[in-house]
């Protein structure tokens, strides 16, 4: 694994792309770029986001991803006009937005300003951490449209929220404020409007400074062990943790601590 980190922005060449990408400091920022349509998801945007997420997992110089929306809205869900014409913003094997069915192995932070509705909220639920502007709103309004939140909302919302709160979202279709989402553990940090991306960058920088093998193993085990008993977890965790303890990074971490220097992670 390369130990170098790009510190200058590596932005998408095409400003008209529906997903803009930028790399800096080991962090890949993916921005939904349909502000005039409140960043409603299209098939093209889903395919572009899936490609960006593949890059996140494949590039050894990238440790963390951030997903956000341009123009003060995260994502208003699928583009209903295109839905009426038969388009589905789904990528085979990856689901809605190219994300919800197969999130990346590396950490993903959702930086939310404004509305995160329907599939947009389901993409938030597929992320690992959430930073939100204080006016952000989260909702699953599918029942108001004769639909259901089948891009993960029906089962992920009750995992991260109290059952009654999740059911209120699902059955009324009414949105939840950022403050309430934070109180119930859905959102990690609420910041001033316009500050979600900067706060997400700070969080991502902290994660990117840690050993990449340990970070990926921690995320994978935390997710996969949700339905395991304690006995099963202690037995099964070795497949995730033994490679970490046997790695070069496991030797580098204590050595750097003892020598009072920053660790140089190799990812091996």
Alpha helices in the chain, H assignment, sequence order: 43-58, 80-84, 119-126, 153-160, 163-172, 178-183, 196-208, 212-224, 230-236, 238-245, 248-258
Q: Decide: helix, strand or coil at residue 91.
A: strand
- How much is the pLDDT for 1? 40
- Of the candidates 87, 122, 182, 252, the residue annotated as catalytic is 122
- How much is the pLDDT for 87? 77
What pTM did the predictor assign? 0.92
- What pairs with residue 111 in β-bridges? 68, 131
Active site residue 92: no
- Of the candidates 142, 168, 202, 232, the residue annotated as catalytic is 142
- How much is the pLDDT for 108? 98
Q: Decide: helix, strand or coil at residue 92.
A: coil
Three-state DSSP string of 19-30? EEEEEECCEEEE
Are 17 and 70 contacting, i.e. CB atoms less than 8 angstroms apart? no
- Cα-trace Rg, the chain: 19
Tell me: domain 19-208, CATH 3.90.226.10, correct?
Answer: yes
Domain boundaries defined on the chain: 19-208, 212-258
Average confidence (pLDDT) per 10 residues, the chain, 268 residues:
45 78 96 95 96 96 97 91 80 96 97 97 98 98 92 96 97 97 97 98 96 95 94 94 93 93 90
- Distance CA(80)–CA(184), nearest Å, equals 30
- Distance CA(246)–CA(220), nearest Å, equals 18
Active site residue 142: yes
């Amino acid at each position: 694994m390369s130990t170098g980190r790009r510190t200058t922005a590596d932005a998408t060449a095409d400003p008209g792309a529906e997903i803009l990408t930028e790399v800096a400091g080991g962090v890949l920022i993916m921005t939904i770029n349909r502000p005039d349509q409140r960043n409603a998801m299209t098939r093209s945007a889903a395919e572009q986001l899936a490609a960006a997420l593949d890059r996140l997992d494949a590039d050894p110089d990238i440790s963390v991803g951030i997903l956000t929306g341009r123009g003060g809205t995260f994502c208003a869900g699928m583009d209903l006009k295109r839905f009426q014409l038969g388009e589905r913003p789904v990528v085979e094997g990856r689901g809605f937005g190219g994300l919800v069915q197969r999130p990346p192995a590396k950490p993903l932070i959702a930086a939310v300003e404004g509305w995160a509705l329907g599939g947009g909220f389901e993409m938030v639920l597929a992320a690992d951490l959430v930073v939100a502007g204080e006016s952000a709103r989260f909702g699953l309004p599918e029942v108001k449209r004769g639909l259901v939140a089948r891009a993960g909302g029906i089962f992920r919302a009750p995992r991260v929220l109290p059952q009654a709160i999740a059911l209120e979202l699902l059955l009324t279709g009414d949105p939840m404020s950022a403050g309430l989402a934070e109180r119930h553990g859905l959102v990690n940090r609420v910041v001033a409007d316009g500050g979600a991306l900067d706060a997400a960058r700070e969080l991502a920088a902290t994660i990117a400074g840690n050993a990449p093998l340990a970070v990926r193993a921690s995320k994978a085990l935390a997710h996969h062990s949700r339905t395991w008993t304690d006995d099963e977890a202690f037995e099964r965790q070795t497949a995730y943790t033994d490679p970490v303890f046997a790695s070069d990074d496991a030797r580098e971490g204590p050595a750097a601590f003892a020598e009072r220097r920053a660790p140089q992670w190799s990812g091996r």
